[in-house]
Structure 1
């Protein structure tokens, strides 16, 4: 499935509302530091961008199941724009915390509705892999646009102007999504109102998939958190460490651009299984590397291996969950990822202080290696020959 105009529009919707969040995630902590707040306070502020979705993801998923696309995305856009606008008029720490909660929760809620809609646009497994590969490029673009635009405006016009620009980004998303066609809602079975989101976990494949997703999300967190520590130990400059992390992001984006071209010749379980084995190997090797060049090379390879996973996870999730509960399943996935983003840096920091950063890499690598058996168990069962 080639990226038609509707799919491009939906990717851009995601880009601009997510860029609002990523720009705020850079600008708000920077303003707090300049106002004299402690590093601990800034850490709390940063965690608020992910904390909302730990509690909001499941309700957002169920709301998307009931209301298709424009209404959930429209409410998310309204919350993102209004929450960010508060920081324009009252750029003080308590208001920045409110803005962080609203921006983070809105970006995740809109993403759940968009993922649900895009997944139902596909007519077969190959198209589903393709559309999720295209959609996965969006966050990589917004991770660049948001902080870069915010930084330029802060240096030229100040923090208020930067917050105003971030508040304008969701309005662009609304202009793009307001004309998008809605889809027919699948008819849910009559369950007398007894349906609960946790009932989805009765499906063994979904439990296995969410565990795989959580393990690999931890790899993103450990790379982002620990590489600066290793770089500091090696005596690398801040710009070189940033380049290593940037190479990881570019590689993850590039491989997602390639996936739609090979979607017909790959199966989800095989891609995930191979990516987990490759990731485990790279995590064992990474902390033994001494030069910036070798660390950068390993970072690129790790970006390739982790970048292919999300589209395959999303495609599999849509195959193994009921059509009328796709939003809930996406909410469960989003909740686990954001819980990881809140808790894992704290765990990595404590473990690194006790056993060293090398051991953190090796522990996560061992977990990924052992978790590859979960991906192997996702392969389809072929009937025995007679």
Structure 2
């Protein structure tokens, strides 16, 4: 049986990712509230949010190179330990500089976990299951983003904002540690052996970036993640200015995450109906308009509606950008291509919060959401121009060879892929 035939590993990976992401999603708003309690202004909150992505910015490509010709699984527990430590130590830090440092450690841990897990999904999924498995994998992230803000909102509040935010961060560290229980024997031996046997000349980074489809996937992912990140970091600031309680902010962020889960549960039918290019273009365009709408002084119920619709639209970009990048990249450089995608994400997470902090300091706390709208509008234009990229051609060439595998893996019936999502693979590497 090929590795993709038994998806028990995928369920355990989703569970682990749910706990790891819940910890991060709980810690990010808690860090913002603790920073505000320690005297930070909007600019300082933006800097601390940006440091979360600074260390990963330099580590992503080396980790991807290592994973291309090695095992994926060791990165997962390392990532969990760094996330747990970064959360807990942020809770006991008593200065903004220390909070920024431990926020960076938390971000490095998240990067290790994500590179390892995404590479694992790419290797251990059958070609026709790539879109579905990446979609299911990102449900783990969305579950964490649903639970984390609610938990943070329940713990943070009252007169002692410093103490309650510290408690939320320590609890987030404990939540992350639970992910370790789902990571035993998650990588198949045949997949690990194949990755070690496939060592060869490295594909240059410049060559990967020049591959058609890779830059588009990176930009779309950057825009979508920047939107999610700034929502998490700056909605508490908006709530402080508009008099919205932290518990309500937690519910609003969780509404966004719940809509993202709903989107990914129906991703396959949407792909069959619209195709990848149209779906990416439409959802990025709608997300741009919805982000700009958050800048308006709307009542809480309207803000909840905007965030729910926004969460549904943002749910499309991440899994489809993963598949787009993996499909376009050379077979022996897929982990590096995914790492470059994550580098783009982290670059956005450094630049976007810093820019948001400057804009918020000059034009008000709602202005960063207008900036996000512009970025998402640009990504929708890139998605339109990605029509006709080689993924459709590869899919047509692979359909005949993959039809029998798809029928076997899906209980005797092949899953049609008019969206161009089937991927050519090279010995599961």
Larger mean CA deviation between 227-236 and 320-329 belongs to 227-236
Instruction: Quote the offset at 1:130 in angstroms.
Output: 0.9
Task: Judge which range, 217-226 or 116-125, deviates more.
Answer: 217-226
Residues 349 and 21 of structure 1: CA distance in aligned 2, closer, same or farther (over 3 Å): closer
Relative distance call for 1:177 and 1:162 in structure 2 (3 A) is same
Larger deviation, residues 13-22 vs 250-259:
13-22
What residue number does 1:312 align with?
Answer: 320
Instruction: Determine if contact 1:10/1:114 at 8 Å carries over to the other structure.
Output: yes
2: CA distance between counterparts of 1:5 and 1:44? 40
Correspondence list, 1:14-33, <5 A: 14-25=17-28
The answer to whether 1:185 aligns with 2:195 is: yes
**Structural mapping, 1:161-180, within 5 Å:** 166-180=172-186
Structure 2 counterpart SS, 1:379: coil
Q: Distance in 2 between matches of 1:376 and 1:124?
A: 25
Distance 1:366 1:4, change over 3 A: same
Rate the CA distance shift 1:120–1:163 in 2: closer, same or farther, 3 A.
same
1:324 alignment partner, one of 324, 332, 347: 332
Post-superposition Cα deviations, 1:74-99, rounded to whole Å, max 9, x if no partner, equal 333344455567679x7554765554
For the pair 1:63 / 2:66, whether they are aligned, the reply is yes
Q: With structure 2 as the length reference, what TM-score do the two structures score?
A: 0.72
Query: How far apart, in 2, do the equivalents of 1:290 and 1:332 lie?
Result: 38
1:117-266 correspondence to structure 2 within 5 Å: 117-125=120-128, 127-146=129-148, 166-182=172-188, 183=191, 184-185=194-195, 188=198, 190-191=200-201, 195-221=203-229, 223-224=231-232, 242-260=250-268, 262-266=270-274
Gaps in structure 2 of 5+ consecutive residues = 158-162, 394-429
Deviations 1:256-289 (A, max 9, x none): 2222455544532221012123223434555457
Q: Distance in 1 between matches of 2:231 and 2:84?
A: 31
Compute the displacement of 1:324 (Å). Answer: 2.0
TM-score between the two structures when normalised by the length of structure 1: 0.79
| Structural RMSD (CA) | 3.9
How many positions carry a matched residue from both structures? 377
Aligned with 1:272 (options 271, 280, 285): 280
Map residues 45-56 of structure 1 onto 2, 5 A cutoff: 45-56=48-59
Partner residue in 1 for 2:310: 302
Cα contact 2:87–2:102 (8 A) shared by 1: yes
